[in-house]
Amino acid sequence: MSFVIDYNAKRRKLQIYTADLESFGKLRDNFSIPNTTAHFAKRYTNYVPDKLYAITQSGYCELGLYWDIKKYFDKNQIENEIGEGLEQVLTKDKVIPNYIHLKLDLRDYQQNAVDAACSFGGGTYILGTGAGKTLVTAALVESYFKQFGDEFTCIILVPDTGLVEQTYKEFKEYGVTFSLSKWTGKNKLEFTNVIICNIQLFQARFEENQWIKHIDLLVCDEAHKIKSNNSISDLLRQIKTTHRFGFTGTLPKNQMDKWSIIGKFGPVMFEKSSAELRNEGFLTNCEASIIEIQYNTKITRTSRDEYRDELKFIYTNEFRNNLIKQVASKLEGNSLILVNHLEHSKLIVDCLENIDKTILCVKGEVEIEEREKIKQQIEQSNNVVCVAMNSIFSTGVNIKNINNIILAAGGKSFVRIVQSVGRGLRLHENKTKLKIIDICDRLNYSQEHAAERMSIYREEKIPFKIKSLRQT
């Protein structure tokens, strides 16, 4: 037998054994990507690999990669067998879907997602913004509770405190029968069946709460945040249960980050894209208008970081910010202006001061209660311009009454762009189509980022048109 694949319970990792070093090298190469930062890092140290590997030289990798590795072996007709430890993991008890008693009206694809999750016992689930991740999660966790009984323990991880509150509220509305609590900075830990916790607190309090390692079920919302080498990734590896689910609207483009997510939670078991939801009438249609600015002034170099200087030039440019003002003042309905930097949000708010609309601003220091008030104000009005930090409003914020999104920050992150657009895709009686206004800049780095965003629009099947504008 050429390869043996087993599960190392102590390390909670997959372990691959073989005497065929040549075939093992090819396997590792198949699960590797070029290290694009190597040529920069080599200025400071000689010990920089040209490739990044998902499988170590000792044959260790994340458990969830087993299914991709098995596909590789089957495709290349490589003999392999599984060890006793891995066999026990793969034959774990499956769960019977049991949620019909809840106040849920699941769509067909949502039922299919729950059924797939219960039958597999883990995995990664891609549900685009507006697909109803919270609804699916509630049905899934309820099914586990009904099968495991009163001693059942589960942690649901969400990105921030606002989503803790939102998820808790929606679970209660669904009529879940398990005991439920919020674990945040303001809410003390309660040992209920299900604990909803924000990632920051989870990281901070993990070491003093060793019981977390022994929970029955782990659910992670916005699983794309679990990158290959970040601290939360290391903590999740310490949790013993193999019943773990990762929910996300989209996977990152970086292959190493994809392998990290799949490795932590298991293979992609179900996918419903934003484009599918739009085509089926579950989300509103959308179109993008790209405004490309050609500047007649040069960037002033104030640091050794050219990219940072370019960003500062963009955010502080009076012509650009006045353009955003003009666009926002003419758009009908509610508009959301997304930025990445606090300084930029302040400049835009100042610029918007005299337009005939209600101006709102959501910054990091705004309390959860205030954010909720702002959300309600947007929902109940039709003439609001809200300036918001991308880090706050690109993820998990549920506001239906958004007619326009102005992407004022630039950038090229696939996940961030898709989720930012997703803020305005929910159906509402006051809109027939979401308008996306993408402010692009004919500058060194920004031009490349704009090209990346256009490729995202093509991939997401969002029609777009380009208008060129020269600074006056």
Does the pLDDT value for residue 398 go beyond 70?
no
Reported as a single tens digit per residue, the pLDDT across 343-371 is 999 999 999 988 999 999 887 655 667 77
Helix (H, G, I), strand (E, B) or coil at 353: coil
Q: Please report the pLDDT score of residue 45 as a whole number.
A: 60
What value does the CA radius of gyration of the chain take, rounded to a whole number of Å? 24
Domains of the chain: 3-89 (3.30.780.20), 93-272 (3.40.50.300), 278-470 (3.40.50.300)
pTM for this predicted structure: 0.86
Computed over every residue of the chain, the mean pLDDT equals 90
Q: Please report the pLDDT score of residue 35 as a whole number.
A: 86
CA distance 281 to 69: 37
Q: Please report the pLDDT score of residue 393 as a whole number.
A: 63
pLDDT band at 317 (very low <50, low <70, confident <90, very high): very high
| Contact yes or no for 389/364 (Cβ under 8 A) | yes
Q: Which two tokens stand for residue 117?
A: 């999750």
Strands in 151-257 per DSSP E: 154-158, 180-183, 194-198, 217-221, 244-248
Q: Please report the pLDDT score of residue 87 as a whole number.
A: 94
pLDDT band at 442 (very low <50, low <70, confident <90, very high): very high
Element (H, E) at 51: strand 51-53
Q: 375-404 b/e with 16+ CB inside 10 Å = b?
A: beebbeeeebbbbbbbbbbbbbbebbbbbb
Smallest Cα–Cα separation from 102: which of 94, 111, 93?
111
Instruction: Give residue 340's Cα distance to chain centre.
Output: 16
| Contact yes or no for 181/201 (Cβ under 8 A) | no
Residue 227 or residue 405, greater confidence: 405
Q: Please report the pLDDT score of residue 281 as a whole number.
A: 93
Reported as a single tens digit per residue, the pLDDT across 369-394 is 777 788 888 888 899 999 988 877 65
CA distance 90 to 120: 9
* Contacts for 143 with CB less than 8 Å, ≥ 6 apart: 95, 96, 97, 98, 99, 114, 118
> Can you tell me which residue has the tokens 């029968």?
177
CA distance 448 to 339: 18
| Contact yes or no for 177/145 (Cβ under 8 A) | yes
